A and B are shown apart, each in its own frame.
Chain A
Amino acid sequence: MLSDPGMRKYLVGWALFGVALLLFPQVATSGTLRIFIFANFIAIFAMSWDILSGRTGYISFGHPFLIGIAAYTSAMLTYHLQTPLYFSIPLGVIATMVGGTLFFLPALRIRGTYFALVTLAFMELMYQLTQVMRPDITGGTRGLSGLPTLLTGALPNYYLSSAVMFVIAFCLWLLIRTRLGTALSAISMDEDAVKSSGLDTTKLKLFAFMVSAFVAGVGGTLYVHYLGSIAPRAIFDINFLFTILIAALLGGASTIIGPIMGAFFLTFLLEYLRPYIPGTERYFIYGSIALIVYVLEPKGLHHIIQRLYGALMRGKQA
C-alpha cells in the first residue's frame, strides 16, 4: 500500500488532517470548539448517509430514523435502567443495525423516488411513535433530559468527536477504495448491469446499509450523550435531515471527504450568520449558497478544491 506513490500522497493528506485536528484547540476558543463538535457530528451523519446514498444512489430521506433508534435506545437504557454507557452505546448501535435492517431491507428492493419516500415515511412514523407510544418510556413530546454524558467540557468533547469522526472517515475511505467501493458505485450507475455481471446487488446494498447504520448508530449515541438530552423534534426533524443531506451533496457525494467538508462549511456558515440573522432566515441564506454551489459544481466543494489543486500543480510545473 505504501509503495504506491498515489496512496502515499493520500496518506500524507490524512496524517496532516489528523495533526490539524489535534493542534486546532491551541488556536481556537472554547466557543469555536463547540461549533467544531457539532460539525464533527454532522460530518459523521453525512458520511453515514454518503456510504449508502452517495455510493449506491439509493437516496435515503430517513437517516434521522437510524440516528434516532440508536440515540433513543441508549437514552432510554441509561435513563430508566441506569445502564452504564459502555453497554448502552453498543446496544444502541446494534439496535440501529438490526431495527434499521428490518425496516430498510424491504425498502432496498424498490428504487429511486419510491425508496426516498418510503424512508421519509419511516422517519415520520418514528417521530409520531416516540410521542404517542409509551411516553412514560420515551419521554413523549418533551423527550428525556438529564442523561449521562460521556465527557464534560469543550476540549475533551472536541477530542472525542474529532477522533471518532477521523477514524470513521479514514475507515470508510479505505473501504471505498476496495473493489467493494467500485461495485457500490456501479450500482448507482446501472444496477441491472451489475446484476448481469454476476453480483448480488441486494447483498451489496444491505452491506452498505449495515455500514451506514453502524456509523449512524455510533454518531447518534455519542451525540445524545454529548447533549445530555433527546427530544423527537430535535432528531426527527426535516431541518436536521436536510442539514445532513446538504452537507453530503454540497461537499461532494460519494467521496467521504466531501461530506466532511460540507458539514464543516455548513455548520460554520450557520454559526457565523447567527449574529446578523438570528432567526430561521439563516436557513434561507445557507439554502441559497448550497444551491448556487450545487448548480455551479454538482460534484461539490471537494471537486472544486481538487480542480484548484490540479490547476496549482500545473501552474508550478509550467
Chain B
Amino acid sequence: MSPLLELRNITKRFGGLTAVNELSYHVEEGESLGLIGPNGAGKTTTFNLIMDEFQLTSGQIIYRGTNIEKLPTHKRVQEGIVRTYQVPRPFHEMPVSDNIRIGMMPENIGKMIAEAPDPDAEMAIARSVGFGEREFAMYPGELSMGDLRRLELARTIAAGPKLLLLDEVFAGLTVAEIGQITELLLEKRKDGLTYIIVSHDLRSLAPLVDRVVAMSFGALLSEGSFDEVLADEKVQEAYLGT
C-alpha cells in the first residue's frame, strides 16, 4: 500500500539559501510522525511546502498516490491535509464559534449563502477540544495560549483532516496544558487521524509519535524510532549540540 503522504527529493531555495535540500520522507495512514531538528532546520518550511504556502523549487509531493504539486492550498485542505501554525492564527475579531465556522464552510458560495450554519455541529467540535459554552462565545483575545492552541486544533478538525500537520503544538504551554493537548491528540488518533508533528519539546513528543525524522540544514539527518533517532550521533551533534 502506498503511503498517505510522500515527499520525494523536495527542495526549496530562497535566492542563495537552500532551506530544504533534497528531502524525502513519508508517513503511512494512521501513523504519527515526529519531525525534529534545530532552529532553522527547515521543518516549518517543509510544512509550508506541503500546504503550497511556498512553491517547491524541485521535487514531488505525493498524497494518496497522486502528485499534488499543482493543487493550491485550499484544494489540498479539501483533500484532507490541514495544518496548525507555530504561532496560533485565530480570526481575532470573531468569537470561537465563528472561528470554528470558518473551518466548516462549504466551498460553494451558493451554499454559504443559502444554508444556515449548524451551531450544534460547531459546538460539538468545540467540545471535542475541551471547550464549553463559555469559551464558545469568547473572543481569541480572551483565551490563554493553551486555549488558543485548542482553538487552532478545533478549526483544523472542523476542516475534516485526514493528515494533520502540527507545528510546535506545545510551544508556550504550561505542563498541565501540554498534558491536556497530548490527551486530546491521542484521542483523535483513535479516530484514525494521521499526524506529522514538529516540536522542540522532545519529552512531550515521545508518547505521541511512532517514528521520527530528524532534519538539519534542510536535509534529512536520521529516521527511525524515537529512541533510535535520539541515539544517533549525527542528531546529537546537530540537534543537541553534544
Contact = CB atoms under 8 A, between A and B. Distances in A.
Interface of A: 175, 178-180, 182-183, 185-186, 189-190, 192-201, 203-204, 207
A197 B94 contact: no
A143 B22 CA distance: 63
Nearest to A193: B89
A189 B91 contact: yes
A190 B91 contact: yes
A178 B112 contact: yes
B115 A197 contact: no
A47 B92 CA distance: 24
Nearest to A254: B93
A178 B113 contact: yes
30 contacts: A179-B101, A179-B112, A180-B109, A182-B105, A185-B93, A186-B91, A186-B98, A186-B102, A189-B91, A189-B94, A190-B89, A190-B91, A192-B73, A193-B85, A193-B89, A193-B102, A196-B51, A196-B83, A196-B85, A197-B102, A198-B74, A198-B77, A198-B78, A198-B82, A198-B105, A198-B107, A199-B74, A200-B107, A204-B109, A207-B109
Contact of B82 (A175, A196, A207): A196
Contacts of B106: 179
B132 interface: no
Given A186-B94, A198-B105, 7 more contacts: A182-B98, A193-B89, A193-B90, A198-B107, A199-B74, A200-B107, A201-B74
Contacts of B90: 193
Interface residues of B, number: 31
Interface in B65-109: 72-74, 77-78, 82-83, 85, 89-94, 98, 101-103, 105-107, 109
A200 to B, nearest CB: 5
Contact of A197 (B53, B77, B117): B77
Interface string B115-143: 10100000000000000000000000000
A-B CB proximity, top 7 nearest: A198-B77, A180-B112, A195-B73, A179-B112, A189-B91, A193-B89, A178-B113
A28 to B, nearest CB: 37
Given A198-B78, A203-B109, A185 B94 contact: yes
A250 B145 CA distance: 35
Nearest to A203: B109
B159 interface: yes
B155 interface: yes
B102 A199 contact: yes
Nearest to B158: A197
A109 to B, nearest CB: 12
Contacts of B109: 180, 203-204, 207
Q: Most chain-B Cβ atoms within 10 A of its Cβ — which of A195, A197, A199? A: A197
A197 B105 contact: yes
Interface in B146-172: 155, 158-159
A203 B82 CA distance: 20
A134 to B, nearest CB: 38
**Most chain A beta-carbon contacts within 10 A, residue among B53, B93, B98, B102:** B102
Which of the listed residues A196, A198, A199, A200 has the most CB atoms from chain B within 10 Å of its own CB? A198
B77 A196 contact: yes
A178 B102 CA distance: 12
A6 B62 CA distance: 49
